[in-house]
Amino acid sequence: MNVTWAAVGAVLGLLAGGALKATVFRLSVAPGEPERTACPHCDAPMRRRLAVRCAQCGRSLGTPLALELTMAAVLALLLGRFGGQPDVVAFGFFGVLGVALAAIDIATQRLPDPLTLPAYPILIALLAVAALASHDFAALGRALLGGLALAGAYLVLALVRPGQLGGGDIKLAGIAGLALGWLGWPALIAGAVLAFVLSALVSLALIAARRITLRSAICFGPFLVGGTLLAMLTSGH
């Protein structure tokens, strides 16, 4: 862990969290509903794309600092681990996107297309630049295969157990597969397994605390992101 890079990551994470706060708020709506454009407290229209609080009543959009501090922690860990490497931008991008998607999934049980779909060309471009810089085109090929493999595996799971995983999970799995495939097949498998382990542990804890029952469906995005990040940080790449 490189402390200087970690500090840079923490600062960038705070900035990214603030910059994405309004986007996360806007997209945190039930499936099929229009994007949120008004403050939930005072109904004032939200005009600015970059905002952390309502201009009218001054209340925070969502839990104050939660998004900022989570992104700061995630980017501190990612930059502390990958800082100075050509692939650090791609992993940082995944970290920021993943936290934003997890926040929306926790709030509304969905992973919106306006965030997941553009992430494919962006992440592939960032990995292609990293491949050019490191002359590692095998890793780029593995990333593309990894994305296909993980999205395919989630598609099969969604078909076998309808209602547990949705289209958003499949799209996010493809993005996670791109990043994990770049690091290697062991990282891809570790990320896939860790997502289900984390999900099972949290489900058991929630059942024990009587917050959910065995039949409840809990959102999977945060576990997919968490498992992917854990596999990235512990990979031997």
What is the C-alpha separation between 67 and 103, in angstroms, rounded? 8
Task: Name which of 40 and 118 has its Cβ closer to Zn ion.
Answer: 40
* Residue 161 contacts Zn ion per CB under 5 A: no
Beta bridge partners of 123: none
* Residue 103 contacts Zn ion per CB under 5 A: no
Task: Name which of 46 and 77 has its Cβ closer to Zn ion.
Answer: 46
What is the C-alpha separation between 83 and 92, in angstroms, rounded? 10
Give Cβ neighbours of residue 197 (< 8 Å, ≥ 6 apart).
Answer: 227
The count of chain residues that interact with Zn ion, using the rule CB under 5 A, is: 7
* Residue 52 contacts Zn ion per CB under 5 A: no
Place of tokens 């997502």: 195
Name the minimum Å distance from CB 136 to Zn ion: 49
* Residue 42 contacts Zn ion per CB under 5 A: yes
Residue 9 CB neighbours (<10 A): 28
* Residue 41 contacts Zn ion per CB under 5 A: yes
Q: Which stretch binds Zn ion (CB under 5 A): 44-52, 73-81, 100-108, 191-199?
A: 44-52
Q: Looking at 16, 54, 131, 229, which residue binds Zn ion (CB under 5 A)?
A: 54
What is the C-alpha separation between 21 and 50, in angstroms, rounded? 7
Name the minimum Å distance from CB 214 to Zn ion: 40
Cβ pair 83, 9 in contact under 8 A? yes
* Residue 237 contacts Zn ion per CB under 5 A: no
